[in-house]
Every structure is written in structure tokens, then in C-alpha cells.
């Protein structure tokens, strides 16, 4: 009885995590911690640790352990760090997200109905972001009274531009099942409705006006078309509609056009001198300067301004960086380069391996079950771990928190015998 109640409490906590990740981070933290505690308590009671032998979990623990070692302030060992309180403790709590993922996979989301409910909550999150983005586009303000951002980006239900990347990461998890259900129904009207729904979803990403979100949406559309032959012609049409929308933004939203087209083309043509190029150059120089241990977790924000890291990369013809051009920030804006500056090349290699294992497992889950939701989860993971991207700090709840939720749901699909959402009995 205690086991059943504990799992039900953990399940309820997991169902609150999407709301927490959207608007109440402290709620997400509490729910993740509660799920972890209940899961570990049950595993110790049963002496069941088979889940800890998974390759991805082993590599995650190795990456976490090495990053923790590199965060310790031990100059005598050649290690770097900017304080026990700020660096070491921040690394220590990363384990909560790793445990949360495996808890969802092996203990919490063990029935199709539970997975369906979490899918529905993610889908409602996408719908909420999309509706609030359109409200802000049409009326000038979202439901909370917040206007669009200064550069023209729509903030959706948030007060600052968070909507674009998050919407694109989650979009295909929510979108593929209903679109395929419409496209496979007999009758031209249903098929037209399916194409219209998908086009509206992708156009919304364009109109939100954040570069990476737009790129992720087109990337996801391409992967979906590759994986599902019945989507190839509709995907081409949807891409054309979204492209025409982008071309029309000088009339629909001049600031969006300026950001997505004008500013992007300028940065690409002068990338190494752009703020993102300067950040990445600085991170590489820092990694080369401390190749074994890096500079401690979040050491980038502490040590980046030092003059010794402004030399550029002469061997590649990359000029010295400048603080005035934005060469330093709170983090390098790239997960992989953050792993390098946090924990040197060993941490960098382990982080790459971890992401490859994540992708391999989520890909096998889709390959074995061929469900639209499992494909959407795979697309979401690809957009999160895509290396050529500007990202948030890893692994904060801000955006990466969603990655661990998605991984937990995606890995749980290895227990499914039939895809959900297309089978009414599983709903």
C-alpha cells in the first residue's frame, strides 16, 4: 500500500512539472525532488538497482562526477573553481535531474495512460504558448499585460522572450499525432485540416520571431518528413507557406523581419566578430588554456574577462576577442562549449558521449514503435542536443529542465507495446 501511494504521489508531482517549468520554477524543483526521494526510497526498499546499469545513466554519472571534481576549489591539484557554495553545490544538485529522468522511465510512467496524460500536459503547454503568442501579436499584450519584446519578438505567456525556443522544442511532440490522425482520415476536408493545423503551428514559430526557434521548427519539419513518407508532400507545402510568411514579415511585423533576416544575415556573414562568435572563441581559448579540468562549473562567467583569453585563435585566422563586442557572458551559450570550460576535454568528451547515448536510445524507441509521439520526442531531443545552436546554461530548469522531462517520457516508451494516441483503448 505504501508503495502504491508513493508512486501515485510521484505521478502527481511529475504531472505538475510542466506547469512549474512554464511559470513556477520552485514548484518544478519541489516536484522533481519529491519524485526523486520517493523513487530512491522505493528502490532501496526493494534493493532494485538494475536501472543504474543503463549505459546512458553510467555515462551521465561519470560526466556529473568529473564536473563535480573540476568544481572543487583545490589549486594544489591544478583544479579551478570560484567557491564551494556557488560552484560545488550547483554541480551537486544536477544529479536531481538525472535521477528524475530514470524515475520517470522505470517507475512513474510505466503505463500507456500515464504517458498519455503527460503527453497531453506537454501538448497543452504548446497550445498555451501558441495562443498567447497570437494574442500578443493581435492585441499587443499577453494575458498578463506584457508587451512584445523590444526587438519585436513575441514573448507568448512570458514577460521576456522565452517562447520561441521552448515552443519549437515541444512543438512536434504535440503536433504529429493530431496531424497524422487528420491526414489519415478519408476525405479531402480532413486532410486539408491536417495540413492547415501543421502550417498554423509552424507559421506561429516564425511569427514569434526568435532565430533558433524558427530554425528548430524547420529542422523538426524536415525530420518528420524524412521519417514519415505520408508527411513529405504536406511538409513541403508547409515549408513554402512558412517561407512566404517570413518574406511577408516586413509588412506583418517589420521588427521580426529585421531580426530573423537582417540581423541573422549580418551575423552569419561576420560570424566570428558577432557576439555569439566572440563567446565561442573565448570558450575555446579557455578550454585550451585548461584542457584537463576546465575552470569549474560556471567558471566561464568568473574567468572569461581575464586578458589571457582575448587572443583569438590565430591558427584558424580568428581575430582576438573584445569585451566590448560581447565576448563574455554568464555562459558560452552552447552546451558543448560550456562542458569544455566547466570540465576540460574529459568533461567535453563525456558530455558528447552522453548526448549520443540519449539520441541513440530515443531513436531506438521510435524505430521500435513507430508512433507519432515517440517521433515527436525524438525530434525534441534532436533540437535540444543540436550542437550548432545558441543555448541556455546547462542544466538549469529554464529550458534544459524540459529536456530531462522529455527524456524520461521518451525512455519510458520502451515499455510500450503499441503507440498511444492512435489506439483508443490506450487513452
What sign does the CA torsion over 144, 150, 156, 159 have? negative
Q: Give this prediction's pTM.
A: 0.92
* Least confident piece of the model among 188-197, 253-262, 375-384, 417-426: 417-426
Look-up of cell digits 522505470: 106
Residue 314 half-sphere exposure, CB side, CA atoms within 13 Å? Answer: 3
The predicted pLDDT at position 270 comes to 64
What tens digit of pLDDT does each residue of 33-81 get? 999 999 999 999 999 999 999 999 999 999 999 999 998 865 434 445 4
Task: Classify each residue of 140-156 as buried b or exposed e, where b means 16 or more C-beta atoms within 10 Å of its C-beta.
Answer: eebeeebebbeebbbbb
Task: Report the alpha-carbon distance of residue 141 to residue 143 in Å, rounded.
Answer: 7
Q: Which of 87, 63, 76 is nearest to 295 (CA)?
A: 87
Grid cell listed for 202: 509552424
Grid cell listed for 342: 566547466
Which of helix, strand or coil describes residue 132?
helix
What tens digit of pLDDT does each residue of 282-298 get? 999 999 999 999 998 98
Segment 377-402 shows an average pLDDT of: 93
Which of helix, strand or coil describes residue 147?
strand
What tens digit of pLDDT does each residue of 200-255 get? 999 999 999 999 999 999 999 999 999 999 999 999 999 999 999 988 888 877 87
What phi and psi, each to the nearest 5 degrees, are found at residue 147? -80, 170
Which of helix, strand or coil describes residue 313?
strand
pLDDT band for position 88 (50/70/90)? confident
Mean of the per-residue pLDDT values of the chain = 89
* pLDDT for residue 17 is more than 80: yes
What tens digit of pLDDT does each residue of 298-313 get? 889 888 999 899 888 9
Grid cell listed for 239: 515549408
Amino acid at each position: 500500500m505504501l508503495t502504491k501511494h508513493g508512486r501515485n504521489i510521484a505521478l502527481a508531482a511529475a504531472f505538475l512539472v510542466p506547469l512549474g517549468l512554464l511559470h513556477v520554477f520552485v514548484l518544478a524543483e519541489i516536484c522533481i525532488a519529491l519524485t526523486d526521494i520517493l523513487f530512491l526510497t522505493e528502490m532501496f526498499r526493494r534493493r532494485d538497482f538494475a536501472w543504474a546499469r543503463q549505459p546512458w545513466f553510467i555515462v551521465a554519472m561519470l560526466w556529473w562526477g568529473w564536473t563535480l571534481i573540476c568544481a572543487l576549489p583545490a589549486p594544489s591539484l591544478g583544479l579551478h573553481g570560484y567557491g564551494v557554495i556557488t560552484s560545488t553545490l550547483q554541480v551537486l544538485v544536477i544529479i536531481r535531474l538525472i535521477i528524475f529522468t530514470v524515475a520517470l522511465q522505470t517507475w512513474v510512467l510505466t503505463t500507456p495512460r500515464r504517458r498519455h496524460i503527460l503527453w497531453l500536459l506537454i501538448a497543452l503547454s504548446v497550445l498555451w504558448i501558441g495562443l498567447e503568442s497570437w494574442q500578443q501579436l493581435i492585441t499587443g499584450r499577453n494575458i498578463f499585460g506584457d508587451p512584445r519584446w523590444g526587438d519585436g519578438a513575441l514573448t507568448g505567456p512570458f514577460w521576456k522572450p522565452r517562447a520561441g525556443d521552448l515552443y519549437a522544442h515541444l512543438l512536434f511532440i504535440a503536433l504529429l499525432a493530431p496531424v497524422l490522425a487528420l491526414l489519415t482520415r478519408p476525405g479531402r476536408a480532413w486532410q486539408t485540416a491536417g495540413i492547415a493545423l501543421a502550417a498554423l503551428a509552424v507559421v506561429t514559430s516564425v511569427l514569434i520571431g526568435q532565430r533558433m526557434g524558427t530554425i528548430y521548427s524547420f529542422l523538426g519539419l524536415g525530420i518528420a518528413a524524412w521519417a514519415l513518407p505520408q508527411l513529405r508532400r504536406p511538409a513541403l507545402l508547409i515549408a513554402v507557406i512558412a517561407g512566404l510568411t517570413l518574406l511577408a514579415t516586413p509588412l506583418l511585423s517589420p521588427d521580426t523581419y529585421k531580426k530573423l533576416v537582417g540581423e541573422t544575415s549580418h551575423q552569419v556573414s561576420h560570424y566570428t566578430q558577432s557576439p555569439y562568435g566572440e563567446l565561442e572563441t573565448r570558450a575555446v581559448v579557455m578550454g585550451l588554456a585548461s584542457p584537463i579540468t576546465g575552470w569549474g562549473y560556471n567558471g566561464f562567467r568568473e574567468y572569461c574577462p581575464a586578458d589571457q583569453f582575448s587572443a583569438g585563435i590565430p591558427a584558424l585566422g580568428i581575430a582576438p576577442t573584445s569585451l566590448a563586442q560581447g565576448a563574455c557572458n554568464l555562459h558560452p551559450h552552447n552546451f558543448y562549449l560550456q562542458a569544455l570550460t566547466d570540465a576540460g576535454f574529459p568533461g567535453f568528451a563525456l558530455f558528447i558521449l552522453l548526448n549520443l547515448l540519449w539520441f541513440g536510445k530515443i531513436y531506438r524507441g521510435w524505430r521500435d514503435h513507430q508512433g507519432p509521439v515517440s517521433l515527436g520526442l525524438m525530434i525534441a531531443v534532436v533540437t535540444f542536443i543540436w550542437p550548432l545552436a545558441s543555448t541556455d546554461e546547462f542544466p538549469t530548469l529554464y529550458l534544459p529542465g524540459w529536456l530531462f522531462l522529455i527524456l524520461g517520457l521518451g525512455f519510458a516508451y520502451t515499455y510500450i507495446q503499441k503507440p498511444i494516441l492512435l489506439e483508443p483503448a490506450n487513452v
